[in-house]
Structure 1
Amino acid sequence: MQIGELARLAGTSIKAVRYYEGLGLVAPQRLSNGYRDYSDHELRVVQEIRTLAEQGIAPARAAPFVECLATGHRHSDECPASLTAYRDSIAELDRLIASLTFRRLLLAERLEQGANRTFAKEPTVIDYSTTLPEDLPVPEDDGAAAHLPGLAMPALVLESSDGGQVDLARLGAGRSIIYLYPLTGVPGTDLPQGWDAIPGARGCSTEACDFRDHFAQLQAAGVERVHGFSSQEPVYQREVANRLRLPFTMLSDIGFQLAEALDLPTFAAPDHPRLYSRLTLVVSDGIIEHVFYPIFPPNTHAQQVLAWLEAQPAG
């Protein structure tokens, strides 16, 4: 087929096809009259390049996927080099998101400083990282966590906010506290609509601050390690750990692997089809010793855990 027909079938422009040729991704045959002759393989390659571009992988980085198709694979991401390209693109996005989040925080701080110098200071906004709105609905115990005590933690390796990884089946000797929560908001960004009306949803930052403020007492009560835990991306976990100055790491379970392994309760909210319900696991030598569920109010939950530890000394 000629280049015009190829472009039409692939849903792109002739100029784009020429660009792909210049990158060495498309290599048509030449007819005796000198015209380029494109096969169904070139059509498949152009379609794949367009799909990758829509997903954030530029044509200049599409070579591993094109080479995978050329070796006879049905899908362009069935080769090790293609998977590496995916990982590199994700890592680059993580760096970009982290950089943009940091720049946003700096701009918001400068905005606040400039506004305070230029205009009369507005009434103080309530800081919900330390307080909670009044009249929040109290969650009820639906029995969704009753099966957990006595279960072994599954072998799941998750990324932590310090850039490392944590294997839930190898937390180490002694007691570990893992508190699961739905999500933390970023300053200046609205939470899901109707968030305060969902029982047990509000209060993730207050809960983290309470664990921060009682971290030393938890250690004195025999806790070896504390982890916050949600389905948010690692970049969000890093942001909240830095912003709240948490002395412990936050774990990210984007794919809800722990929920699937232990049949944990989850819920949905606007723009968030699935979130972890708030609960806390006391893990002793790899076995779930105790579960706090439901949790209310979250801003004093660490003190509730501390009281239980003092009443149930390890060993």
Structure 2
Amino acid sequence: MRIGELAKRTGASVKAIRYYESIGLIEPARLDNGYRVFDEHHARAVAEIRELAGLGVSPQRAAPFLECLGLGHEHGDDCVSSLAVYRDTIADLTRMIDALAARRAALRHRLEAGAGRTFTKEQTMTDYTILPEGLPRPEDDGAADHLPGMSVPRLELPTSDGRTLRFADLGRGRTVVYLYPLTGRPGVDLPEGWDAIPGARGCSTEACDFRDHFGDLRAAGAERVYGMSSQDPAYQAEVVDRLRLPFAMISDEGFALADALRLPTFAAAGHDRLYSRLTLIVRDGLIEHVFYPIFPPDAHARQVLDWLERTPA
């Protein structure tokens, strides 16, 4: 077959096939007129090179796989030399991932530092600790009706204070876990259309309400209080520090608790999934009571306090 037919059969460009030839991966026969001629062996080789490239193995490293096929093996990675290429490529990818993670962390740090400086300079800035008027009220869609009486799952999740929380080992007595979508930060815009989503706005005000009534909640029988969202522990640690919260925040970036308990979630601009606002009262490993939906969030801690006082353990 001619090079154009080979390109059509394998999905590779003519330029790519010529490159594979230039680095010695394939060697076509030539007719008297100088035209290249390829056969099924070349088609198999090009397909192997393209498949490896899709996995991150560059053509420059594909020779051991083609040699393995040339020896009659069914797969290009049936030989030890091919496995060594896998290991080297994995090591390279790991270094790249680590480098990208470090860049992301540095950018996030600079974003947060810049947002903090901007907040001190701007004259007009949205105060996320105050609820605007006219927010839509969420309706009870029954998404939490199944929760009372369920056992908490055996999950381990990180917290804002650098620890790990084991849900199955919360301890005796009552634990209050209030779940929220995300906490706004000065100088960083909330998702577009945030105020129009029923129940979305008010995470900072809710946190402040639990802060201001933390002592009362403890006196009324709440042994522990936690906030929880899908934001990472570092983000939540900043919130705890900025709002002076006397309790830790739980981070569930993978929505493990939502999946285990079938908790309600929703999507917003830039976020495929966020926790719906909901509060669990956990007692001795069981969900004793659920608050859902919650409105207004800036008075919710008092609502929990009223329930604790009316329902002694």
**Does the alignment pair 1:231 with 2:238?**
no
Alignment of 1:82-231 (within 5 A): 96-111=103-118, 115=121, 122=123, 124-128=124-128, 130-231=129-230
Identity, % of aligned positions:
54
Q: Note if contact 1:98-1:235 (Cα within 8 Å) is conserved in structure 2.
A: no
Query: 1:146, CA displacement in angstroms?
Result: 1.7
1:27-65 CA distance string (max 9 Å, x none): 9799xxxxxx98765554433227xxxxxxxx9xx9xxx
User: Deviations for 1:105-159, whole angstroms, at most 9, x for unmatched residues?
Assistant: 333444555x5xxxxx83x43412x210001111122222122111100112222
Offset of residue 237 of structure 1: 2.5
Change (3 A) 1:230 1:107: closer
CA contact (8 A) 1:177 1:281 kept: yes
> Per-residue displacement from partner, 1:190-226 (whole Å, max 9, x unpaired)?
2222211111110011111211222222222222222
Count of residues paired in the alignment: 275
Query: 1:47 corresponds to which residue?
Result: 54
| Matched-pair contact (CA < 8 Å) for 1:157–1:167 | yes
Q: State the partner residue of 1:53.
A: none
What is the rounded CA distance, in whole Å, between the counterparts of 1:209 and 1:267 in structure 2? 23
| 3-state SS, counterpart of residue 184 of structure 1 | coil
Q: Label 1:197 to 1:83 Cα distance change in 2 as closer, same or farther (>3 A).
A: farther
- Residues 109 and 142 of structure 1: CA distance in aligned 2, closer, same or farther (over 3 Å): closer
- Give the secondary-structure state (helix, strand or coil) at the position aligned to 1:199: coil
Return the TM-score normalized by structure 1: 0.69
User: Hey, what does 2:292 align to over in structure 1?
Assistant: 293
80 and 237 in structure 1: CA distance in 2 versus 1, 3 angstrom threshold:
farther
Cα distance in 2 for residues equivalent to 1:85 and 1:156: 33
Encode CA deviations 1:233-289: one digit per residue, 9 max, x unaligned.
Answer: 334323323332322222222232222222212222223232211110000011001
User: Could you tell me how far apart the structure 2 residues matched to 1:98 and 1:193 are?
Assistant: 24
CA-based RMSD: 4.2
Write the mapping of 1:18-33 to structure 2, written as runs, cut at 5 A. Answer: none
Which runs of 5 or more structure 2 residues have no equivalent in the other structure? Answer: 1-5, 28-41, 66-75
Name the SS of the counterpart of 1:274 in structure 2.
Answer: strand
Query: Which residue of structure 1 aligns with residue 71 of structure 2?
Result: none
Over residues 2-29 of structure 1, what are the superposed CA-to-partner deviations in whole Å (9 max), with x where a residue is unaligned? Answer: xxx99x9778x99xx99xx9xxxxx979
- How far apart, in 2, do the equivalents of 1:216 and 1:260 lie? 32
Larger mean Cα displacement after TM superposition, 298-307 or 244-253: 244-253
Deviates more, 1:256-265 or 1:292-301: 256-265
